Amino acid sequence: MSRTPQHLLTATQEALEAVRSTAPLVQCITNSVVVGFTANALLAVGAAPAMVDIPDEAGIFAGVASGLLINLGTCRAEQRAAALEAAPAASAAGTPWVLDPVAIGALPVRTPLAHQLRDLRPSIVRGNASEIMALAELGAGGRGVDSTNSVDDALAAARSLARASGGAVAISGATDVVTDGESVVRLSNGHPVLTKVTGGGCALGAIMAAFAAVTPDSLTAAVAATSVYTVAADLAAERSALPGSFAVALLDALSEVSVDDLAERAVIA
């Protein structure tokens, strides 16, 4: 598969149209702080959210969902059980799934859980540099949800994780990086105010699950989701660069971002 910037742009445009035409059903086992924003982001981009995170239901639903997000942001006991039920069920059913190992490193509950889930071979791993390094057991994590490492610091860890899972790893930063262990793609859209909105990264993980549902290649799906999301952030920041109004503008931009906007604005290298 060709992965030149032009081919990836074309694939991103096609994936956006596919999400909007098929409305993939995305199961989210996610951070309770951001459930509403995540659901609204999925709706805005054209997908359908389902916050099914109850044990004895999560695995059943993962078998019928189009995509699955497992986000460890709040990681209560019931969610932990649901995650360990849903991930293997998704894999058995061929449902692509995304692991977002929020704030792992030194914390004694979420860190071993993240390693268990990592070994179940997620389609895409998404996190900041410190989280990716901790998931690969090459770092101690960041400051809570904030990274203390650079994207380039985490590239070797991301390559290693991607090779082990057979999927893709996306590192969020000022320039986002996606790798499948061999190819490395750098994406340079987005706006700093994204870091001031609770749930910005969590919503991106859910959108990756939606794009993975319509794009068989994990690297292409992660690139497409990141490009759409960060181009929408650029559009939103032109309306407002203040956190409260930006969050609303981002949802609006996700619903409006077009293939022409991607052609004009997406920076893929």
Q: Residue 67 contacts by C-beta under 8 Å, 6 or more apart in sequence?
A: 24, 25, 26, 27, 95, 96, 97, 98, 209, 210, 212, 213
Q: What is d(CA 172, CA 245) in angstroms, rounded to the nearest whole number?
A: 23
Of the two residues 138 and 67, the one the predictor is more confident about is: 67
pLDDT in tens, 89-120: 999 999 999 999 998 998 899 999 999 999 99
Work out the mean pLDDT of the chain and round it to a whole number.
95
Nearest to 251 by CA among 21, 77, 23, 37: 37
pLDDT in tens, 189-211: 999 999 999 999 999 999 999 99
**Is pLDDT of 2 > 90?**
no
Domains identified in the chain and CATH numbers:
5-171+186-265 (3.40.1190.20)
Q: Which helix (H) or strand (E) holds 142?
A: none
The pLDDT of 221-235, averaged and rounded, is: 98
Q: What is d(CA 177, CA 158) in angstroms, rounded to the nearest whole number?
A: 9
Q: Which helix (H) or strand (E) holds 25?
A: strand 25-29
pLDDT given for residue 149 in this prediction: 81
Strand pairing category for 176-179 and 168-172: antiparallel
**Is pLDDT of 36 > 70?**
yes
Q: What is d(CA 90, CA 96) in angstroms, rounded to the nearest whole number?
A: 7
Q: What is d(CA 191, CA 103) in angstroms, rounded to the nearest whole number?
A: 22
Q: How confident is the model at residue 180 (pLDDT cuts 50, 70, 90)?
A: very high
> Are residues 220 and 15 in contact, defined by beta-carbon separation less than 8 angstroms?
yes
**Is pLDDT of 145 > 80?**
no
- Lowest mean per-residue pLDDT among 57-71, 123-137, 138-152: 138-152
Nearest to 120 by CA among 74, 188, 59, 166: 166
The pLDDT of 120-143, averaged and rounded, is: 89
pTM: 0.96
**Is pLDDT of 140 > 90?**
no
> Are residues 57 and 97 in contact, defined by beta-carbon separation less than 8 angstroms?
no
The pLDDT of 214-240, averaged and rounded, is: 97
> Are residues 5 and 269 in contact, defined by beta-carbon separation less than 8 angstroms?
yes
